Amino acid sequence: METMENIIPMPRIGDKAPEFKAVTTQGDINFPADYKGKWIILFSHPADFTPVCTSEFMTFAKMESEFTALNCQLVGLSVDGLYSHIAWLRTIKDKIEYKGMKNIEVKFPLIEDITMQVAKKYGMIQPGESSTKAVRAVFFIDPNGVIRAMIYYPLSTGRNFDELKRALIAMQTADKFAVATPADWRPGDDVIVPTAGSCGVAKDRMEHQDGMTCHDWFFCTKPLPKEQVME
Ligand code: BEZ
């Protein structure tokens, strides 16, 4: 029974990622210590052998090298057991052809979490949606083991993996260049200069410095070439 004593608070942005040891399809892991120095995307799915999850795994596995190139380790989780995971991933590789994807091998670790210990630590069990399955949660964890973003989707909605990649690059860009990124930003688009307040005093003077444009005293942008973002 869920009592006030055994409810684990959900982690929040800025918290250290909760630690755990787990069995995965790629061997035992000590999380997040094993991935120190890398970004991690820890994501849960409701169940093996289900269609939305299958489409998601195929898409994520197809894009894995793009995340590796961004120094990002993918780690999956569901509350199924290891042998179910292995059988499902084998089925995906051997049998499923979908949207031009076939022979898709999932090489990133998939955590078995039958006890729901990890899922509960990360607030992936949301009883209003399901008390027996994890929702579709995504945690972005930075190279220092700090949670930087979280996204939650219901069971019925497959995630957009281009958006996960875009969000990862946006966070890396914010860290590297001390800027923020506007709505729908993609590498190569202008970025937001965080000290925008100073533009107010010297809007006219600063308009052309660094190619910066101030749209008003609180909103200044500047170009950041794609090659710099992706180098
Ligand atoms: C799916 O992945 O298709 C799915 C899983 C659990 C509930 C509903 C859909």
| CATH number of the domain residue 149 falls in | 3.40.30.10
55 lines ligand 1 (CB under 6 A): no
- The pTM score is 0.93
What atom in ligand 1 is closest to the CA of residue 133? 6
pLDDT for the residue numbered 5 = 60
Domain count, the chain: 2
> In this structure, are 203 and 132 located in the same domain?
no
pLDDT for the residue numbered 82 = 98
pLDDT for the residue numbered 2 = 58
Q: In testing the pocket of ligand 1, which one of 43, 49, 53 has its CB within 8 Å of the most ligand atoms? A: 53
Backbone angles phi, psi at 14, to 5 degrees: 95, -15
> In this structure, are 21 and 77 located in the same domain?
yes
Tell me, in angstroms, the distance from the centre of ligand 1 to residue 149's CA: 24
> In this structure, are 82 and 129 located in the same domain?
yes
pLDDT for the residue numbered 142 = 98
| Residue 168 covered by a domain | no
Q: Which structural domain, as residue segments, surrounds residue 182?
A: 178-230
> Beta partners for 220?
214
> In this structure, are 14 and 109 located in the same domain?
yes
Backbone angles phi, psi at 52, to 5 degrees: -60, -45
> In this structure, are 218 and 186 located in the same domain?
yes
> In this structure, are 91 and 149 located in the same domain?
yes
pLDDT for the residue numbered 195 = 65
> In this structure, are 138 and 78 located in the same domain?
yes
Tell me, in angstroms, the distance from the centre of ligand 1 to residue 88's CA: 14
| Residue 165 covered by a domain | no
> In this structure, are 70 and 134 located in the same domain?
yes
| Residue 107 covered by a domain | yes
Task: Give dist(CA 134, CA 151) in Å, integer.
Answer: 13
> In this structure, are 98 and 188 located in the same domain?
no
Q: For 102-143, what is each residue's pLDDT tens digit?
A: 999 999 999 999 999 999 999 999 999 999 999 999 999 999
> In this structure, are 114 and 224 located in the same domain?
no
Task: Give dist(CA 84, CA 5) in Å, integer.
Answer: 32
Question: Atom 1 of ligand 1 has which residue's CA nearest to it?
Answer: 52
Task: Give dist(CA 103, CA 72) in Å, integer.
Answer: 23
Both structure tokens of 83:
């042998």
pLDDT for the residue numbered 231 = 86
53 lines ligand 1 (CB under 6 A): yes
| Residue 167 covered by a domain | no
pLDDT for the residue numbered 203 = 52
Tell me, in angstroms, the distance from the centre of ligand 1 to residue 121's CA: 22
Residue 199 annotated to the active site: no
182 lines ligand 1 (CB under 6 A): no
| Residue 206 covered by a domain | yes
58 lines ligand 1 (CB under 6 A): no
Both structure tokens of 169:
């690059």
> In this structure, are 95 and 204 located in the same domain?
no
Ordered per-residue pLDDT tens for the chain, 231 residues: 556 666 788 999 999 999 999 999 999 999 999 999 999 999 999 999 999 999 999 999 999 999 999 999 999 999 999 999 999 999 999 999 999 999 999 999 999 999 999 999 999 999 999 999 999 999 999 999 999 999 999 999 999 999 999 999 999 999 999 999 999 999 999 999 976 455 554 555 455 567 899 999 899 999 999 999 998
135 lines ligand 1 (CB under 6 A): no
